[in-house]
Amino acid sequence: MDHISKDQKALEVCLLLRTLPNKMTPKVFFQHFLQSPHSDLASLRRFWAQPTGIESTMQLVQALRKEITKTEVGVAAWGDFIQNEAINIASKQQPKRGNYPHGSFQSSTTVAKSFFSTDEKETRETILTTEQMPFLYNTLLQTLLLKAQQSPTVLESEDEEPVDGMDLDVIGVSGEADFFCYTKQPAAISTRFKKIASTICSMVAFACNRCANGFQLTNSVRFLACGVSDRVHDYLHYLGLTSSKRTALSALNRLALNAKYNLDMEQKVHDLSVGNRSHTFRESIRGLESLVIEPAMLLPTAKENITSVAVWNSQIARVLMNQLTVPKDKKINSDVPPADNSAEGIGQVFEAVFSQTGLSINEFFGRVLPMDGDLGTVQNFNCLQAQRSPNPYPQESLSNTLFQLGASHTLWNIASAIFTLHIGNPKDARDCGAWQYLEALGFPSEKAIQKKDFTLMINQMERVFESILYYCLREIIENRQKGVSDSILRKKADAKEPGKKGDSNALPVIETEEWNSIVEDSKRSMRDGDVGRLMIIWSKWSLMTQALPGITNYSTYLPRAVLLLTVILPPDMRKYLRHNLLITPTGRDDHFLSKDGWLEVQNYWLKHFYNDCGNGTQIDWLCNIYSPNIMMLQKLLRSLKIDSGEKMIYQSHKNKLEQRSLDMVTLMANNHDVLDKDPNNGTSKNKIENTC
């Protein structure tokens, strides 16, 4: 009834509109009603655009749209109308003018490192999509989401196949080689659509006003880090995705200057402490004239021997639990360009450091300068220092400078010497070197020792060492004899006695003490950040290097470094320099790295960025632009994956032994009778000379 009354009233109004003297159609009536300046009519429509009446007004617009779009002509007309309205709305919304952070313009000559951080980038994106250009952003985003709902295949993501042989653990699990990886997030599709919409908004804003360049400046530096070629970079700049490459280099140049002049040197703090002066260091050096170096200084103490026994127990327990037994409860509680000569190179280093300290020459060379370097650097410096001695001028004698060996280079070189000594001759089947274990483990012995991959070499030594422990433990468990391990040691000791002969073709157990010093005491102590254990093994190496071939220089410089860090220097300085050997870049427990090893990683990234950008002849760029910004370039490179809707996680690559490999080692060891357990053999076997 109500519907009939409304229809009747509408018809009566239409009849009234067609009466004289002024006939009006309903369209003319509505147009005049909305546009008439008459006060009474304006009063009647005063709530149409107000909160109290806007809802019913929009219902009227929806009714008009529904009626107009009933025909093809109406659909086209309505589309043109909405398009023009959208153009008017979008053209009025634009980023705020002015300099960042009050505006949207960021000059490459004043940019700071914080501008490229993730938080700043997200803040700029939020402001752009919610305050400055919400209409265009929401239009694009809702269009993409609507299309995705209408086409379910769009929502299907292509899952990447896992990498074979890789055990991936998330944060909190210790491992031997840390790296980054990325995993698909559940809301990756919506995140992708949001990124597409915000990117288009940034491109439109940049095309309309080149001063709205926050997104483009970030991309220009990031694409430079990714090694994008000049041709592709120019095309992306033409599309509005990035700023020019010249702008990116200008930004990096500015950031490099900020890094150069941002050294945190508080002179007044140093002046308050007498201990920071070089008096104690010079007094310690003068004492070297009367210092008598005793072998006991390099031999382990009783407390250190207890630590070594605990290390052996942990190694045996590790292999026992991982390979042989299954515990009832696995949850165990635990707590500048290189110069042609060394003198010029050292001078360039000192000049670069001196220019950043703000000290005078006398003050700079009057203080102790601990520096890091590899063996070659230490040799060159000591040679240069010896040539200038005696000299009363500190800036010429360089007597205040103390170089310290890097933990990683020391490990790599000594491990290489030990591995080379034990590897044997793979061409001789009767040879009893470590190559037998490597082949049994399924690894080509000729690829074990590589100068370009020391990590691979250390991992293979660890595999050989743990396979030996596995075989010995398995024999002890199978035989159920308490004296098996003692008999093994006794037979090995008898084999070392001169005059005793045996089967020279048999394969004895490789000397595990040297290998344990590499695997447990050095590699894992460095990973755990245990400088005490590291010093114990360095003391052992100081004695071992006196007989190891191929590392003659370490036989001199390593004992010197150990004595400096344990005996000669003042206690506080010794402690500081020892703890300066290892760092934890990610801040996680059991993920320490040697400082020189971390610098080698950064050097790799530096070469990657430099070589992939097509600037092989611009050596100044390498020194002055890429090197100071290496950390930021890495973050920008990884941020591409994060912006693609993926989540970055830390992973650790564990060096694991498969059961099949252990079975092959057991078969090889039984065939060669490595434990000398053959009852028919009446004599102990001699140790073959080329195994140790």
How many whole angstroms separate alpha carbon 628 and alpha carbon 622? 9
Q: pLDDT band at 496, cuts 50/70/90?
A: very low
User: What is the average per-residue pLDDT within 464-470?
Assistant: 85
441 — phi, psi (to 5°)? -80, -5
Tokens 């000398």 map to which residue? 676
- Nearest partner of 425 among 439, 414, 411, 413, judged by Cα: 439
Q: What is the pLDDT of residue 334?
A: 45
CA atoms within 13 A on the CB side of 355: 9
**Which range, 107-111, 170-174, 297-301, has the best average confidence (pLDDT)?**
107-111
**Residues counted in the chain:** 692
How much is the mean pLDDT over the chain? 75
User: What is the average per-residue pLDDT within 171-187?
Assistant: 50
Q: What is the pLDDT of residue 603?
A: 83
Q: Does 42 or 163 have the greater pLDDT score? A: 42
Q: What is the pLDDT of residue 80?
A: 92
User: What is the average per-residue pLDDT within 238-255?
Assistant: 87
User: What is the average per-residue pLDDT within 278-291?
Assistant: 62
Q: What is the pLDDT of residue 136?
A: 92
Q: What is the pLDDT of residue 116?
A: 86
Q: What is the pLDDT of residue 77?
A: 92
Q: What is the pLDDT of residue 683?
A: 44
**Taken in order 161, 163, 167, 170, is the CA torsion positive or negative?**
negative
Q: Is the pLDDT of residue 370 over 60?
A: yes
Tokens 């072998």 map to which residue? 295
Q: Does 645 or 205 have the greater pLDDT score? A: 205
447 — phi, psi (to 5°)? -100, 5
User: What is the average per-residue pLDDT within 357-373?
Assistant: 76
How many whole angstroms separate alpha carbon 190 and alpha carbon 195? 9
Q: Does 397 or 208 have the greater pLDDT score? A: 208
How many whole angstroms separate alpha carbon 633 and alpha carbon 610? 11
What residues does 429 pair with on adjacent strands? Answer: none
Q: pLDDT band at 75, cuts 50/70/90?
A: very high
Q: How far apart are the first and last CA of the chain?
A: 109
Inter-residue contact 446 to 426 (CB < 8 Å): yes
Q: Is the pLDDT of residue 681 over 70?
A: no
Q: Is the pLDDT of residue 631 over 50?
A: yes
Q: Is the pLDDT of residue 221 over 60?
A: yes
**Residue 283: what residue type?**
E
Percent of the chain clearing pLDDT 90 (strictly above): 5
> For the chain, how are helix, strand and coil distributed in percent, rounded to 5?
60, 5, 35
Q: What is the pLDDT of residue 684?
A: 44
User: What is the average per-residue pLDDT within 34-49?
Assistant: 87
Alpha-helix runs per DSSP H in 388-511? 394-397, 407-423, 435-440, 454-479, 484-496
- Nearest partner of 95 among 237, 236, 214, 219, judged by Cα: 214
Sort strands 593-594 and 582-583 into parallel, antiparallel or unpaired.
Answer: antiparallel
Burial tier of 17 (Cβ tally within 10 Å: 0-12, 13-18, 19+): middle
- Describe the crossing of helices 214-225 and 630-643 by its angle, rounded to 10 degrees: 110
Q: Is the pLDDT of residue 271 over 50?
A: no
Q: What is the pLDDT of residue 459?
A: 83
Question: Encoding tokens for residue 626?
Answer: 């890429």
Q: Does 146 or 649 have the greater pLDDT score? A: 146
Q: What is the pLDDT of residue 344?
A: 67
How many whole angstroms separate alpha carbon 638 and alpha carbon 229? 19
**Which range, 56-70, 407-421, 461-475, 619-633, has the best average confidence (pLDDT)?**
56-70
Lowest mean pLDDT among 61-70, 277-286, 321-330, 377-386: 277-286
Q: What is the pLDDT of residue 621?
A: 73
Q: Is 630 helix (H, G, I), strand (E, B) or coil?
A: helix
How many whole angstroms separate alpha carbon 64 and alpha carbon 227? 55
